[in-house]
Each structure stands twice: as C-alpha cells, then as structure tokens.
C-alpha cells in the first residue's frame, strides 16, 4: 500500500514555497519528503518534525537553533541545509536532495562489503564528521541510515538534527537520543555524547560494512545496551576470516569502551583509517566477503525492523536511588518474534546495567524490586581518592578487589586522570573479589586555555593535554623572535574558556627566514659550504645532467635564488656533466640574420664582428668551422666582409 496517499502533507505547499511531492522516509523525530522549491525551481528534501514533538517549545527552539548552526557547515560530504521554517504545526528544514540510496540499502542488498569499498565509504563520512567536530558539533546519531550514497558515487552524511554543541556534552539530567546498535557506552550509562561517541558509532558502522552484521544483537534493546556496556566489539576477522589485522585494529580503536582511549575525534580516526589503507595490499583491499562467494550472510545480522530507537533519561548523580525510564520503539505485536527463554545470566553489573533492568520493567508495566544479595567473606575498600587511575587499580588489586568500569566526571580540585571517588566508597565493606567502580576526574568543567607561547611544540602539546584540552591543527610560520619549533600563538587565545577535550590550534615558528643564495655555476663543494653557512641542508642528486656549466659545477638548485626557507630545510643540487657537443652549422656566405638564426637554433651564442668599412651583410668567416663540434651554449664569432 502506498502510504504517501494518506499523508496529509503530500500535495501541500509549505510557506507558499515548498511543494511536497512524496514521502521518502519516517524517523523517530521527523518525516522526510521530496519537495520542490517553487521559487527556485529545484528539487530538495524537506524534513518535517513530528507534530507531537513540535508542541514542545524547548525542543523546537533547540532544533531551530542547532539547524542554523549546522547550516554553516559547508562541506562536500555533509548534506546541505538551505532553509528553516514553520507553518502551523509543521516545523521543517529544507535540505539538499541526494538522489541515490542509503548505506543501509547497500548493506541490506549486498551484506558485507569488500574492505576497499568499506574504506571508500568510511573516509568521506569521517571527513564530514571531522569538519563538524572541529566546528564544535557532535552528530550523536551516526548509523547507516544517515549515510547517503548518491547516484554519482558521492557520500554524504545526513540528519544533523540531533547535533549538540561539543561544549555541552554532559547531560546528567537530560535526554540521550540515538539508535541502540550504535550508542557508545558513555551515552547509555551517563548520558554524555562528545566527539568520541561519533567515533564509536563509526567503528560499529565499519564493523557492519566488513561483516554484514551488527556486533551486538538481542531480542530486546535492553540486551543490546547491556552488551555495549559489558562486551567489547569483536574483531571483524572473527566473523570474516582472512580480513587484515589492520582492519581489526581500526575497529577496536574506534569502539574502545573507555572513551579516553578512542581517537579523540573523527579527524584522528580518519588519519588511522588512511594509515590502515596504506598498510594493505590490493589483494587485502579487494578480498571478497563470504556472502559474495555464496556462503550466506552472517548469522547474527540483525533484521532491519529490529527495535532500535531508544530514549533514556538519567537522574542527576547523587540521588539515593537509581530510577531510569525508557521509551522503547518495538515492532507491532503481529511482527514480534515468539517469546522464548533468554540465556541464563548471573548478577548484572552494579552500575549502568541496573538502569536497563528497570527500563525493561518499566516498559512491561511491572512493578518489581531488584535485590542484590552478597554472601561470603567481606573486605573494606581501600582509599584511592587522589591517586592516578593506574595506581588506584594497583591498590585495589593488592586488596584482592577488581577495578571495574571507570566513570568520568568533572572536578575543580582533583587533577585530570586522578580518582575523585569510588563505588563502593573507601572504608565500605565489599565481598571478597568484588568489583569497585572508579570515578576519575576529567578536570574542571570549563578549562582555561593555557599560555604556551614560546614553548617547544611537544611541551606545549603536553601542557594542553595536562589541563584537559586536545592539541589541534599545527600550522607553521616564519618568525624572527620565536625560536624554530616553538609556539607563536594558539587559537583560541590563552585564557579563553573551553570545555574539556576541545581542540586548540597551534601556530609554530619556522624561525627567521633564510633567503636562498644563487649557487648555480659554483663547484659542488663551494655551493654546499655557502648553503650550509646560511643554515640550510644540502642534498646532491644522484643523476647528473648536461648544462652550459662545466662538469662538476652546479647545474640546477631545487630552491631558486631569493626563495625563503627555514633553517634546516634542504636544498637539492643537480651537478653538471658539462655541455653537450653540437655540430656547428656552416654559415659562410649567409646574411647576418640567417647566420645568426641558424647558429642560435643550434644552441650557440652569436657574436658579430664587422670590419670597417664593411661592404655588406654577408658572412666572410666563422670562428668555428662548419661541421666541427663546439660546446652547447658556447660563442661562435662571425665576421662580415670588409673592403
């Protein structure tokens, strides 16, 4: 049945400009239509927020504000936003229309992709997200449905409607929106989503492209969330034997459960992806996945209509009890698989997983108490506050306890990377061999950019990391006052307030500029000495060339005279093997003009000598006889007839 026939928007014109022609897709927040901008006569995509969400003024305000910000992301791999507006209950975005399909369509049809194809899709996705991350935004809902592949082969990232400013990543009392298969552990457990959450989602997408299936599966969203929190994403080669270890490493790096050991943003992951590609040969890049060889799709591939959309709400830290509610989008009863007993399970982890149990209970409408009964020998939790995470783990190990998962929180007093607290707290009794959660400092919630001007680059980068910021792009400029290799300035400026892990760009000195001298024609030893005295390095090319300069002299230099280089830069010298010997044309009896033209065309310099008084314009003799050889570029003198 064509559902667009019953859609009340199809056929309407919004704001007297956008004619809605057909419905393309329906998501958790909005419906996307193909429309025509009647003013500019162009096809575009119209994303219209669901009316029930449009009644929430705060949500609408954020949707509009963030849409305007994303519209400034001018990147070839980001779906462009043209306009925003509202008419009645309809709040909409007018966006670029991409004719083609989604990555989900490709995976549904083809299953696992060859590594080359997977990387060809991943890299432009990371380029788009990298531009967003460096502009201060997090996507928060990366999944194959939001990767568009145009008919012309271009890859674009869509649905930045869920983006959030990087500076507001912590959301202890807010809402985490996303799709359970791609949610990072910290999104589930703490309601936080910074650039590393997008990195995690991209790692899951890469796994899915390489294997054809999702890394975590289950009958309910709660089971999938539990696996995100407690199980590492498996190596793709475990499902597709023969995949290169570099691809396993790339997935493992992006999907590390501890966000601190993931690449800090999409730009960093893109660099790793390119390194992985460079390490692979054509045979590894073009390896045919199993289903393409007729071996069938992976057994754990999740159906496209599996329940995935989830909204979790987390109460502020410090509440005496943990109560989480969840809205789970389930398939209609007729399409649900028959219920069957789940696998036997031990006691769940004491932290975020409890939220999942209560979420399922809330969904089922059952009131129940969750009791955790300890038995056996007890010990007391040692004091680890103020210790580094590494030292705290050692101390717990000495006490016979296991260091469980690590949570991160802001602290104005405890340095970044040191322990703020533990759960259970120091001195509390815990069963022997029990697990202790460490709460580790992320540093202050707002970080001041330190003054690093004048410091060597490596030292400046260490200082930025120490205070909780990320070293960003490095550019180099000449500077007469700052030593080569030291920082000239930062962007943002020192003293600026930023959220932790924000990138700080560095301008590094190339030192005072050196004007390259002209050493062509000099012997190599003399030319080398002159360049090195100026502060430059010298490399002599292995291949020699013919030139007008004598053998052993410099025929050519890689940096021309007057070029500005930095101290320590290299100038390559090409050495002459002398001029070529060329046969001299016979021009006796020719006119001055003809003789000059013939000699110059042969590669000689012409000198005309006239006797006074002279009779005319005819060559009487030449300094090198016609038919003899002379060095290319040498001078041939012609004499004009006299009396």
Q: Which of 168, 157, 84 shows the shortest CA–CA distance to 123?
A: 157
Helix axis angle for 266-279 and 245-254, nearest 10°, is 170
| Contact indicator for 37, 44 with CB cutoff of 8 Å | yes
Task: Give SS3 for 323.
Answer: coil
Place of tokens 């999702």: 214
Burial 465-496 (b: 16+ CB within 10 A, else e): eebbbbbbeeebebbeebebbbbbbbebeeee
Q: Which residues lie below 8 Å from residue 264, measured CB to CB, with a gap of 6+?
A: 195, 196, 199, 470, 501, 503
Residue 629, H or E segment: strand 629-631
518 is catalytic: no
- Residue 632 CB partners (closer than 8 Å, separation 6+): 546, 548, 579, 580, 581, 582, 603, 604
Q: HSE, CB side, 13 Å, CA atoms: give it for residue 210.
A: 32
Q: Are 632 and 579 in contact (CB under 8 A)?
A: yes
Q: Are 516 and 530 in contact (CB under 8 A)?
A: no
Tokens of 140: 């928060």
Q: Is residue 556 a contact partner of residue 520, using CB atoms and an 8 Å limit? A: yes
E-state strands within 38-89: 42-49, 81-87
- Cα separation, 524 vs 527, in Å, equals 5
Tokens of 426: 């120091």
Neighbour-count burial of 343, counting CB atoms closer than 10 A to its CB (0-12 exposed, 13-18 middle, 19+ buried): exposed
- The phi, psi pair for 562, rounded to 5°, reads 90, -10
Contact 490, 453 (CB under 8 A): yes
Please report, for the chain, how many H helices and E strands are present, in that order.
Answer: 15, 34
Q: Which residue has the tokens 């219920």?
A: 339
- From CA 269, how far away is CA 231, in angstroms rounded? 21
Nearest to 64 by CA among 35, 27, 91, 34: 91
Closest Cα to residue 140, out of 201, 181, 93? 201
Q: Please spell the DSSP secondary structure of 333-363, one letter per residue.
A: GGGSPPP-PPPP--PPPSSHHHHHHHHHHHH
Measured distance CA(234)–CA(241) in Å, rounded: 13
The residue from 2, 15, 41, 141 that is catalytic is 141
Task: Tell me the C-alpha distance between 535 and 259, whole Å.
Answer: 45
Residues 6+ apart with CB under 8 A from 6: none
HSE toward the beta carbon, residue 238, CA cutoff 13 A: 15
Residue labelled with tokens 């592949």: 149
Say if CB 63 and CB 49 are below 8 A apart.
yes
Which residues are annotated as catalytic?
141
């Amino acid at each position: 049945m064509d559902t667009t026939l019953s859609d009340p928007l199809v056929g309407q014109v919004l704001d007297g400009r956008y004619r809605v022609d057909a419905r393309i897709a329906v998501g958790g927040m909005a419906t996307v239509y193909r429309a025509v901008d009647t003013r500019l006569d162009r096809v575009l995509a119209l994303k219209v927020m669901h009316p029930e969400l449009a009644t929430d003024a705060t949500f609408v305000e954020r949707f509009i504000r963030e849409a305007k910000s994303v519209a400034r992301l001018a990147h070839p791999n980001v779906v462009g936003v043209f306009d925003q507006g509202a008419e009645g209950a309809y709040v909409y975005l007018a966006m670029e229309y991409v004719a083609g399909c989604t990555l989900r369509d490709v995976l549904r049809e083809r299953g696992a992709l060859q590594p080359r194809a997977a990387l060809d899709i991943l890299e432009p996705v990371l380029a788009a997200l990298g531009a967003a991350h460096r502009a201060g935004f997090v996507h928060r809902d990366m999944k194959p449905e939001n990767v568009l592949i145009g008919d012309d082969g271009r890859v674009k990232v869509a649905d930045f409607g869920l983006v959030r400013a990087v500076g507001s990543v912590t959301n202890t009392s807010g809402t985490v929106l996303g799709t359970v298969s791609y949610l990072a552990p910290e999104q589930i457990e703490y309601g936080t989503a910074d650039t590393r959450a997008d990195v995690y989602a991209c790692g899951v997408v890469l796994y899915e492209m390489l294997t054809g299936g999702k890394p975590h599966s289950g009958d309910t969203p709660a089971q999938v969330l539990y696996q995100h929190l407690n199980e590492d994403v498996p190596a793709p080669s475990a499902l597709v034997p023969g995949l290169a270890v570099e691809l396993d490493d790339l997935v493992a790096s992006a999907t590390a459960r501890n966000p601190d050991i993931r690449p800090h943003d999409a730009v960093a992951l893109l660099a790793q992806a390119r390194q992985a590609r460079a390490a692979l040969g054509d045979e590894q890049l073009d390896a045919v996945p199993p289903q393409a060889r007729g071996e069938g799709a992976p057994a754990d591939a999740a159906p496209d209509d599996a329940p995935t959309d989830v909204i979790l709400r987390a109460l502020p830290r410090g509440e005496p009890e943990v109560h989480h509610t969840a809205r789970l989008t389930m398939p209609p009863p007729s399409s649900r698989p028959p219920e069957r007993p789940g696998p036997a399970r031990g006691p769940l982890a004491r932290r975020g997983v409890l939220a999942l149990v209560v979420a399922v209970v809330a969904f089922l409408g059952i009131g129940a108490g969750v009791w955790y009964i300890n038995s056996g020998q007890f010990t007391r939790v040692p004091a680890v506050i103020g210790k580094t995470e590494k030292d705290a783990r050692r101390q717990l190990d000495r006490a016979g306890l296991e260091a469980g998962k690590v949570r991160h929180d802001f602290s104005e007093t405890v340095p970044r990377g040191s322990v703020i607290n533990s759960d259970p707290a120091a001195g509390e009794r815990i069963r022997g061999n029990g697990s202790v959660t460490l709460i580790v400092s992320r540093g202050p919630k707002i970080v001041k950019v330190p003054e690093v001007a004048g410091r060597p680059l490596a030292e400046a980068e260490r200082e930025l990391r120490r205070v909780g910021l990320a070293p960003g792009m490095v550019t180099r400029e000449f500077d007469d006052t700052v030593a080569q290799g030291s920082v000239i300035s930062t962007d943002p400026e020192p003293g600026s307030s930023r959220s932790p892990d924000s990138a700080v760009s560095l301008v590094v000195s190339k030192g005072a500029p050196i004007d390259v001298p002209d050493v062509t024609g000099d012997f190599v030893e003399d030319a080398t000495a002159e360049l090195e005295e100026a502060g430059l390095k010298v490399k002599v090319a292995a291949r020699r060339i013919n030139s007008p300069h004598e053998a052993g002299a410099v025929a050519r230099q890689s940096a021309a005279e007057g070029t500005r280089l930095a101290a320590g830069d290299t100038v390559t010298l090409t050495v002459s093997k002398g001029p070529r010997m060329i046969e001299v044309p016979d021009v006796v009896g020719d006119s001055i003009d003809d003789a000059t033209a013939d000699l110059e065309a042969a590669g000689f310099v012409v000198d005309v000598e006239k006797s006074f008084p002279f009779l005319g314009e005819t060559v009487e003799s030449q300094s090198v006889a016609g038919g003899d050889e002379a060095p290319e570029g040498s001078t041939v003198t012609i004499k004009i007839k006299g009396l």
